[in-house]
Every structure is written in structure tokens, then in C-alpha cells.
Structure 1
Amino acid sequence: MSRVIALVAAAALLCAAAQAKVYFHEEFNSLDGWVVSEAKEGLGKAVLSSGKFFGDEKINQGLKTSEDAHFYAIAKTLPEAVTNEGKDLVVSISVKHEQGLDCGGGYAKFLPATELKGFNGDTEYLLMFGPDQCGYNKRVHVIFNYKGTNLLWKKEPKYPDDKLTHVYTLRVTPENKYELYIDQELKESGALEADWEFLQPKEIDDATDSKPADWVDASQIDDPEDVKPADWESEPATVVDPEAKKPDDWDDEEDGAWEAPQIPNPKAKGEWRARRIPNPAYKGPWKARQVANPKYEEDAKLYLLRKPLAAVGIDVWQVKAGSIFDNIIVGDDLAEVNKLIDATWGATKDAEKAAEDAAAAATKAADEAAKADESKEEL
């Protein structure tokens, strides 16, 4: 019997693996199929580049922003439109901010069918996903479009603050759950309904309820047993300096009436106040009773993209250009997507870190040599 169960389980796994699919994987071996928007003049130029340092020049080649203080808008149609009904949606993107991003986006937009030449910041999208930063405000965005409204994530997870490539992966399931991975490590997870405002609240305040007249709001009161000390001096905070003297050259007609300066009053203790104690009659903050919200409508398919996913676009502003986007993936199975991540980012991340360290060491050596030459010239 156990053998039969094992065979059935194995067959189920094989069936699931056979059905798992990667719909789109952009490795940026070229820019074929990518359409630069014509919706706005003066867009920044996106180029192919592996960056100043890399683990493997071919594998690490991606789409790079090349001009400071520019908007970028470029998009590509998927080989086939994707619907995630009844199955997982897994999207992934790798981003490298080797320039040291100070203000700009590093996210991608996943689009319904649209005219790519008109792609711009107002174009409808189904999902916006990836890192974003401006000053100290940095977060990973996951924004769903639900019934025409773009819903911000209540959470604001941070991402690594360095110049290396990092991989951002989002999984959304038919159980209306989600998972966020950074560099294949689970960072956030939860329920869609709890972490985005897809729906109206199930319950609302009863508009007919009101706070009782005898409700006690004050959490603390004066201690009735505390009394003002007999020696407490209710003196002013400052007094006239008794040692001050009117300057010999003071002219009342020209300078006005002379007034001695004020100094802190050594006798002043300030206004006496009784100490505060917890109020035994305190009932806590009053809240109206909750009633069912007539506008609440349950939706068992929050996970479902409202339209087929047909294109992916990069629509960002960058003050300091140099970000490299790579390995944009759309699939329906996390394990299959992770295989592609292993073969790209996973296969090159250690070499990329070594290359960054070597580049930093070379820069430091060059700076020290330049300073030494300057010192010799001064001598």
C-alpha cells in the first residue's frame, strides 16, 4: 500500500513539474523587441551593459540607464499573454545599482495589452514590483492594480544597500497569499487582504452609537493626597539683578529710561503642581461599537490579475543613472524560476563580489598614488 502511495505521489510531482511553465525570461542578450516610448520627449537612453564590474560579462549584461536626471520608458511584449487563474504567479527581476542610487526607481511594471510606443507613467499596469529609493526612503514596491486602483503595500521592506546585483522575486498564490524573496531568501509573506486595501473593511463604526455622558477619558488625575509644601516659594522665574548699575554714560533723554537686566530667580521653583496618578475611574479610549459594513464584498480571487499579463515595461526616473536591470522572469512555479536564478545570479554573485572588491582596491591604490605625487610636487 505504501508503495502505491509513493508511486502516486511521485506521479503527482512529475505532473506538476510537467505543467510548470516559464512564460518569459529576458536576459538582455540584445534589445530586440524592446520598444522605446514616444509618449514623452527627452527620455534617457537605455543601453546594454555588464557594468563597471561583473562576475560574467555575458551573463551579467543587462539594460542600463545611461543618462543622469532623466525619465526612462521602454517595454516589451511577452511571447504570449499570461493569466494566473487557478495557479501561482511568480515574477522576478534582478537590479544592480552600481552607481550608488540616491533617488530613482529600480522596478518593473507588468502590463496588460497596450500600445508600447505610448507607454508612460499613466499607462495602466497590473503589477509594479521592485526596489525604489529617494533619499533615506527606500523600499521594495509591490503595487497591485485592483478594479482600476493602484494599491500600495502596507509593508515597506528594505533592500540591500550596496552596489551589487540583487534578485527580487514575488510569488502570489490562488490561496490569496504572497511571498517576497530577496536573493532567494524569504523576507515577507502574508495574506493579500490583510496587507493591501483590496476590499472595504468587514466592519465599521455604528453611526448611531455615541459616547456615554459619564465616560471617563482622563487616564491620569492629580493625586488628592499630594499637598503643596509649606516652604514652596511661588516666586517669579527672574528678578532684577541687584548688582547691576546704570552706566555712567547712559543718557535718559537719548537712550530712554534705564532698566536693570533680569537674572534667574534663585528662589523660584516654578508653579507647583500635584503629582499625577492613574485614574481609577478611567475606562480607556471610547470606541463606537462595530457593525457589518454594507459595502463589504468578499472576493475569493484577489490573487487574480484583472487582465492577461501581456507586456513588461521599465518606467523610472533616476537622478543618478547607472542601474542595470536583468533577468526579468514571469512564471507559474517558484522552483522553476529559482532554477533560472541559480543559473544566472547564483552562478555569478561570488565572482561579481570579488570583481567589486578588486575594483575598489584598484581605485584606492590609484588615489593613494595620486596623493603621493601631489606631495612630491609640493616638496
Structure 2
Amino acid sequence: LNEPVSLKDGSTVLQFETRFQNGLECGGAYLKYLRPQEAGWKAKLFDNESPYSIMFGPDKCGATNKVHFILKHKNPKSGEYVEHHLKYPPSVPSDKLTHVYTAILKPDNEVRILIDGEEKKKANFLSADDFEPPLIPAKTIPDPDDKKPEDWDERAKIPDPNAVKPDDWDEDAPMEIEDEEAVKPEGWLDDEPEEIDDPEATKPEDWDDEEDGEWEAPKIDNPKCETAPGCGEWKRPMKMNPAYKGKWSAPLIDNPNYKGIWKPQEIPNPDYFELDKPDFEPIAAVGIEIWTMQDGILFDNILIAKNDKVAESYRETTWKPKFEVEKEKQKAEDESTDSDGLSGVQKKVFDVLYKVADIPFLSEYKLQILDLIEKAEKQPNITIGVIVSILVIILTVLFRLLFGGKKQV
């Protein structure tokens, strides 16, 4: 950039377009908004370790499917730069079209993430619910030098020391015994084997006993056993032993010495600080970082603005016409695709399912849902089963929310 851009005054809008022409199965394609350096920035100096203020863009591989937003913020006490990741970010669109990603940083500490102009996520920089780790660290931390006392008892229950094994408790009694009341069925053929040599089998002409060993006819089911209740030696069936009790152990009682689960005492956090607004570092350059298994990734219209209306205008005049043309072209290609490919209906279904994965109350199961969707994309014949599985997840969560149980914090 000609001069660094401050993120502290008013709103700031970060926006860019990207297109995965060959799809994105495993890779990341995001922008790093780089901090100023004394020597300035040169393209050849940019690498994975380059210091940045914000990292923003799509990342997808395996169970990971998200639009990254990471703020690298300096702790004023320790001087350390810490990466703060947006929690529950939106998913990456699954098609091969151009999409526009927008991050709007507001002066009231709000950040909004838009994809194709539609808001997908809203968060507050100072909220512990929205960023991990939180920008404002905990006031206290566990004392790293505190040690658990040797006599600290964490057992809530203990075997009753006064309990005595009953005299009639037989630890050697087997779990199962023969059913003495069982009677051999009438017509049981004791002397007939269940299998016999196939009388129609003959030794192959090229069989060499010296090289191949003694020839044996293959076995077949004994036809005499088909109408009989059974063949071979009859044995009484087994049944559960009513006298079985297993290994005796003393019953558990409350531990009179129980002190609870030990935790180190809390001490003031030496790195704790308070702030009303994030101390954003200026942006001096923009770096494109790509790690991917597919080629054909395009970037366009990288924008830093102070007014979201400017970003909206760019979306309407540069991205939207391009997107509409690509969408129509893709639609035509889909219609001419053979039956082995995904149908247009299936693509729409997957788009809906990706939106379902972004629903906040399903955040605990987002990775599981995304994994199911990706399996269905690779194996279209299991799409219905995947939809059913996702519906089960949704109904389970709704039931839990409506009728109690563990709720998402």
C-alpha cells in the first residue's frame, strides 16, 4: 500500500473475490493484512511467518470448512502477539463460482462477515463467546507452582471397609450350566455327521498326490440331517446359572475423607489487561496465502475501504454481473452433465445443508454435519441417508433444548 491504513478510526471494510475453478477439497486461500515493517514490504519477503494484523478467507480440508477471521492482537502487558480466532465461522460455498468475502469492522467493536453480500456471522471483538482465546484475558489463572497435597483424597466413593463377603457367596460358580431338564429331540441322528464327502466329486485328472497331497473329496451338508431335528452327538444346551454371583466386591460408600477434585489455587494473571476497544495494528500490505491440492484459484478486486457502501457498490458493479454469468454457464453445464455427476437438485440440496451447518444452535455438531455433507458429495447415492442423519441431529438438539438436558453454553 502507498501508506498504512489505520483500523482504529471509524469503520473499516475488508473485501475480496476468489474463485475455485476446480473446486476446493483441501486447501486454504486467504488474505493476510500485514503490519508495517521498518524496511517496508517486498513480495519476496512474504511467507507463512510474516507478521499480520488480520487473516481472512476460506479454508477447507477434511472436517475443516470455514471462512477464517483471525485477529492478531498485542498483549500490552506481555508484549506478545496472540492469534484470536472467530468462533463458529461460516462455511465456504461448495461450488466453483466466484464469491465475494467481506469483513466489516465497526467502531462499536462489532465485526460482520458477509459472503456474496449476505451476512453470515456477527460477533463482538471483546466477547469471550465470539473469539478464542478472548481478547481480554482472564483476571486470574491457576498457580503453576501450586502442588496437590499428598494426602488429598479425590475419591468420592470407596469400598466399605467393614463389609464382609456372605458365607453363601460362591465366586467359583460358573455363569452358565447345562439344562438338566432338556431332553434329546425324538429322531435325533447321533451316528450321522452334519457333513459328508460329496459322493459325486472325483479326483481331478491332473492331481498329483506326491505334489498336491492326498486328495480329499469336498464336504456337503448331510441330506439325512435336513429332515431330522439334528445330527451328531447331542449335548444339553446351556442356561444361566441361578447360583452365579461372580466375583464379590465390597459395596461403595461415601468417602469420609473426600475433599473434591483438586485444583490449583487462582492467582492474579500477570498478563491481564482491560480495554474498551481492540488495539488494531495498521495494515501496510496485503499478502495472498494459498495452500491447496487443486490449482486454478483466482483472486480479484481486493478492497480496503472506510465505508461499507463503497464495498457494496463494488459487489454490485464488479462481482454480481460476473457471478450471474458464471451461474448461468454452470447451470447449462449441469444440465448437460451425464447421470454420474451431481444433479442440479442435489447441488441445491447441498447448498441448503451447508447453510444448515451454519445455524448457531447446531455449532456443537457443525464438524459432524460437514463431514456427512462431504461424504454425500463424493457418493451422491447416499444423499438421502445423509439428509436423514442430519435431521436426526437437528431433532435431537431441538428435543434437548425444549425438554432439558445439557445445553450449549
Q: TM-score, normalised by structure 2?
A: 0.52
Q: Which stretches in structure 2 are left out of the alignment for 5+ residues?
A: 75-79, 179-237, 342-409
Residue 290 (str. 1) matches residue 266 (str. 2):
yes
Question: Who is 2:13 aligned against?
Answer: 90
Q: Is the 8 A contact 1:110 1:127 kept in 2?
A: yes
What is the rounded CA distance, in whole Å, between the counterparts of 1:79 and 1:199 in structure 2? 33
RMSD of the TM alignment (CA)? Answer: 4.3
Q: Is the 8 A contact 2:125 2:278 kept in 1?
A: no
Q: Is the 8 A contact 1:174 1:304 kept in 2?
A: no
What is the rounded CA distance, in whole Å, between the counterparts of 1:159 and 1:326 in structure 2? 20
How far did 1:130 drift?
0.5
Residue 160 (str. 1) matches residue 92 (str. 2):
yes
Q: Is the 8 A contact 1:216 1:282 kept in 2?
A: yes
What is the rounded CA distance, in whole Å, between the counterparts of 1:283 and 1:207 in structure 2? 21
Mapping for residues 130-209 of structure 1, pairs under 5 Å: 130-147=57-74, 149=81, 151-153=83-85, 155-163=87-95, 164-183=97-116, 184-192=118-126, 194=128, 195-197=131-133, 198=135, 200-206=137-143
What is the rounded CA distance, in whole Å, between the counterparts of 2:33 and 2:311 in structure 1? 17
How far did 1:144 drift?
2.6
Query: Partner amino acid for 1:116?
Result: A
How far did 1:273 drift?
5.5
Q: Is the 8 A contact 1:172 1:303 kept in 2?
A: no
How far did 1:313 drift?
1.9
Summarize deviations over 1:91-143 as a string: whole Å, max 9, x none: 12232223121222110111234112332223322221101122332322222
Secondary structure of the structure 2 residue equivalent to 1:359: helix
The 1:154/1:279 distance shift into structure 2, 3 A limit, reads farther
Query: Partner amino acid for 1:201?
Result: A
Summarize deviations over 1:206-235 as a string: whole Å, max 9, x none: 5687768987634556699x9989987534
How far did 1:317 drift?
2.1
The 1:318/1:294 distance shift into structure 2, 3 A limit, reads closer
How far did 1:190 drift?
2.2
What is the rounded CA distance, in whole Å, between the counterparts of 1:229 and 1:330 in structure 2? 81
How far did 1:157 drift?
2.3
Query: Partner amino acid for 1:315?
Result: E
Mapping for residues 326-345 of structure 1, pairs under 5 Å: 326-345=300-319
How far did 1:266 drift?
6.1
Q: Is the 8 A contact 1:237 1:265 kept in 2?
A: no
Q: Which stretches in structure 1 are left out of the alignment for 5+ residues?
A: 1-77, 242-263, 368-379
What is the rounded CA distance, in whole Å, between the counterparts of 1:126 and 1:288 in structure 2? 35
Secondary structure of the structure 2 residue equivalent to 1:320: coil
Higher relative contact order (CA 8 A, sep 6+): 1
Mapping for residues 105-144 of structure 1, pairs under 5 Å: 105-111=28-34, 112=36, 113-144=40-71
Q: Is the 8 A contact 2:73 2:280 kept in 1?
A: no
Secondary structure of the structure 1 residue equivalent to 2:112: strand
Residue 104 (str. 1) matches residue 19 (str. 2):
no
The 1:177/1:303 distance shift into structure 2, 3 A limit, reads farther
Question: Who is 1:353 aligned against?
Answer: 327
Q: Is the 8 A contact 1:109 1:313 kept in 2?
A: yes
Question: Who is 1:64 aligned against?
Answer: none
The 1:106/1:265 distance shift into structure 2, 3 A limit, reads farther
- Which segment drifts farther, 193-202 or 277-286? 277-286
Q: Is the 8 A contact 2:58 2:92 kept in 1?
A: no
The structure number with the bigger radius of gyration is: 2
